[in-house]
């Protein structure tokens, strides 16, 4: 299904992301690329799925040569990338339909495949809901479903369970095994989870710095280690403790010793019988053992043997779901939320704590918008009332000034025309109306004089 010879990919900075990689994956196989972040796993997936070019080597996927028939390869594969490719604002059904249209499937076929995949991944009840309301596990299942809409022969899964909780992770393992057994689907998955590679894959390749270090079944790789793994941590590691470890290497029941920082990994044929012997030797030489653990050899021991580093699982720091919509050029309310909640580059926890889901955040958003609209309405009403009061106060003040001026004028006129007709007196109400109508041009009305 996949045949790769001497594959090389060099980035612009000169980094050899893939370094003379050779790989052969048979049809119907689940194959795991196991390695740490930056080992070259994702780059390899991108090359095999035609999303990235390469500098040297030969690549055949699903029987087609990468250099001559990349379009045929794309028709034969499905890809689930690390970052989800589904649209959070669409429903599950709309996402599946869109993917079907991109593959130029007939409407009747798209409808049938949506029904089949929704049933297969137990998404039927949520199919017409927006994806932003889905849990992390549901989103990942929908992501895989969209990659299967056109019935590919080969499925690429790049860190498929990254960021999922243990329950969701194990649930997804069930579906991956199901797809392989029931549909005979060839699956290439990348992971840095030891248990995932051990449980799911028929074969495992350990990749580090762009190179395949070892490749076989998980059990065969662990058998190469031989026996049990005894890990020692010392209270005061120094030259004396290293000398002690070198002495242990000479014992017939010790097959290998590997140092990892200040921890010493000792591989022995019979762990239970070896522990008291090693503890006694340490006591006789005054070596203070702070911690001792015994286990069967794991893929982590295999990785340690070939790379000199451990690949122990660590708690991951995953993005809050809403970060996908914020601070990354997306604009809209999420960008504003990002800005509002970032102070000196640090995300500040909102009032009421972080929401547990997109739905909860949307409810808070609607409530906030409603409160803001009500506050705006009240503010607008109060402002209008204030403005009206101010206008009236200003008008009356100006009117009073004008009346006082008129009275003075009238007093002067009355002194010279005492017998003037009383009908010449101004009509206060009419003059007030004239003043209001003409006040905008700063020319107060004058009473008519006969």
pLDDT tens by residue, 429-439: 555 555 556 55
> Which pLDDT band, with edges at 50, 70 and 90, does 69 fall under?
very high
Q: Which 3 state secondary structure label does DSSP give 83?
A: coil
Same domain, 283 and 328: no
- Pick the range with the lowest mean pLDDT from 25-29, 157-161, 360-364: 360-364
38: Cβ–Cβ under 8 A, 6 or more apart, which residues? none
- Say how many domains are in the chain: 3
Same domain, 203 and 77: yes
Q: Give yes or no for residue 21 having a pLDDT over 90.
A: yes
> Which pLDDT band, with edges at 50, 70 and 90, does 383 fall under?
low
pLDDT digit string (tens) for 242-258? 888 888 888 888 888 88
In a domain, 215, yes or no: yes
Q: Which 3 state secondary structure label does DSSP give 247?
A: helix
Choose one of 221, 253, 273: the last residue of a domain: 221
Q: Give yes or no for residue 330 having a pLDDT over 50.
A: no
Same domain, 89 and 188: yes
pLDDT at 251: 86
pLDDT digit string (tens) for 298-308? 888 888 888 77
Domain of 278: which CATH number? Answer: 3.30.70.100
CA distances from 133 to 165, 321, 361, 365, 432 (A): 17, 11, 10, 14, 64
In a domain, 416, yes or no: no
Q: Which of 72, 78, 59, 95 is nearest to 183 (CA)?
A: 78
- Pick the range with the lowest mean pLDDT from 108-117, 202-211, 216-225, 436-445: 436-445
In a domain, 383, yes or no: no
pLDDT digit string (tens) for 25-53? 999 999 999 888 888 999 999 999 999 99
Same domain, 206 and 244: no
In a domain, 421, yes or no: no
Same domain, 248 and 365: no
Measured distance CA(67)–CA(50) in Å, rounded: 10
pLDDT at 98: 95
What residues form DSSP beta bridges with 265?
A: 231, 258
pLDDT at 393: 61
Angle, vertex CA 71, rays to CA 11 and CA 37, nearest 5: 35
160: DSSP letter: T
Choose one of 194, 221, 248: the last residue of a domain: 221
In a domain, 445, yes or no: no
Angle, vertex CA 272, rays to CA 266 and CA 276, nearest 5: 80
The arithmetic mean of pLDDT across residues 114-135, rounded, is: 93
Count of helices and strands (H, E) across the chain = 14, 16
Domain of 85: which CATH number? Answer: 3.40.50.300
Q: Give yes or no for residue 428 having a pLDDT over 80.
A: no
Same domain, 45 and 101: yes
Mean pLDDT of the chain: 79
Measured distance CA(323)–CA(88) in Å, rounded: 13
Q: Is 407 exposed, middle or buried (0-12, 13-18, 19+ CB in 10 A)?
A: exposed
pLDDT at 58: 95
Same domain, 53 and 117: yes
* Residue 332 domain boundaries: 319-373
Same domain, 234 and 272: yes
- Pick the range with the lowest mean pLDDT from 184-198, 264-278, 396-410: 396-410
Same domain, 251 and 200: no
In a domain, 313, yes or no: no
Measured distance CA(90)–CA(95) in Å, rounded: 6
Which tokens is 47 given? 């090359």
Question: Which residue is listed with tokens 């990749």?
Answer: 207
Find the DSSP H helices in 24-91.
41-48, 70-76
Same domain, 11 and 84: yes
Same domain, 216 and 241: no
Q: What is the dihedral of CA 130, 133, 135, 137, to 10 degrees?
A: 0
In a domain, 381, yes or no: no
The arithmetic mean of pLDDT across residues 201-208, rounded, is: 92
Q: Give yes or no for residue 64 having a pLDDT over 90.
A: yes
Report whether 233 contacts 282 (CB < 8 A): no
Which tokens is 160 given? 């498929």
pLDDT digit string (tens) for 217-229? 999 998 888 778 8
pLDDT at 344: 45
Same domain, 116 and 231: no
In a domain, 8, yes or no: yes
Choose one of 263, 296, 329: the last residue of a domain: 296
> Which pLDDT band, with edges at 50, 70 and 90, does 413 fall under?
low
Question: Which residue is listed with tokens 């992501």?
Answer: 143
């Amino acid at each position: 299904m996949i045949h790769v010879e001497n594959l090389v990919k060099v980035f612009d900075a000169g980094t050899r992301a893939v370094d003379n990689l050779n790989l052969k994956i048979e049809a119907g196989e689940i194959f795991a690329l196991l390695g740490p972040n930056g080992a070259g796993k994702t780059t390899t997936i991108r090359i095999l799925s035609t999303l990235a070019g390469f500098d040297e080597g030969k690549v055949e996927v699903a029987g087609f040569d990468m250099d001559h028939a990349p379009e045929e390869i794309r028709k034969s594969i499905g890809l689930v990338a690390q970052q989800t490719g589904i649209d959070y604002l669409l429903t599950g059904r709309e996402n599946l339909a869109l993917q079907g249209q991109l593959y130029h499937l007939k409407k009747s076929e798209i409808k049938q495949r949506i029904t089949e995949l929704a049933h297969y991944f137990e998404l039927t009840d949520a199919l017409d809901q927006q994806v932003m309301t889905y849990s992390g596990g549901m989103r990942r299942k929908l992501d895989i479903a969209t990659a299967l809409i056109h019935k590919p022969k080969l499925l690429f899964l790049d860190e498929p369970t990254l960021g999922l909780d243990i329950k969701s992770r194990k649930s997804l393992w069930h579906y991956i095994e199901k797809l392989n057994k029931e549909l005979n689907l060839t699956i290439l998955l990348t992971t840095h989870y030891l248990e995932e590679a051990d449980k799911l894959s028929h074969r495992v390749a350990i990749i580090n710095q762009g190179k395949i270090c070892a490749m076989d079944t998980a059990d065969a790789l662990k058998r190469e280690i031989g026996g049990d793994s005894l890990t020692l941590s010392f209270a005061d590691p120094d030259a004396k403790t290293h000398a002690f470890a070198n002495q242990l290497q000479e014992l017939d029941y010790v097959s290998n010793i590997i140092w990892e920082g200040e921890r010493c990994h000792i591989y022995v044929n019979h762990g239970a019988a070896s522990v008291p012997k090693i503890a006694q030797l340490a006591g006789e030489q005054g070596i203070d053992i702070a911690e001792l653990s015994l286990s069967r050899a794991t893929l982590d021991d295999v990785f340690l043997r070939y790379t000199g580093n451990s690949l122990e699982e660590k708690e991951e720091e995953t993005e809050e779901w809403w970060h996908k919509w914020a601070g990354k050029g997306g604009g809209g309310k999420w960008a504003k939320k990002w800005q509002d909640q970032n102070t000196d580059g640090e995300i500040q926890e909102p009032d009421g704590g972080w929401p547990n889901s997109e739905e909860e955040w949307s409810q808070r958003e609607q409530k906030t918008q409603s409160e803001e609209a009500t506050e705006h309405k009240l503010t607008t009403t109060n402002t209008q009332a204030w403005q009206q009061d101010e206008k009236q106060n200003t008008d009356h003040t100006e009117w009073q000034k004008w009346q006082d001026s008129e009275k003075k004028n009238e007093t002067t006129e009355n002194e010279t025309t005492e017998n003037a007709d009383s009908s010449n007196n101004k009509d206060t109400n009419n003059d007030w109306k004239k003043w209001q109508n003409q006040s905008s041009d700063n020319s107060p009305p004058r009473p008519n004089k006969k």
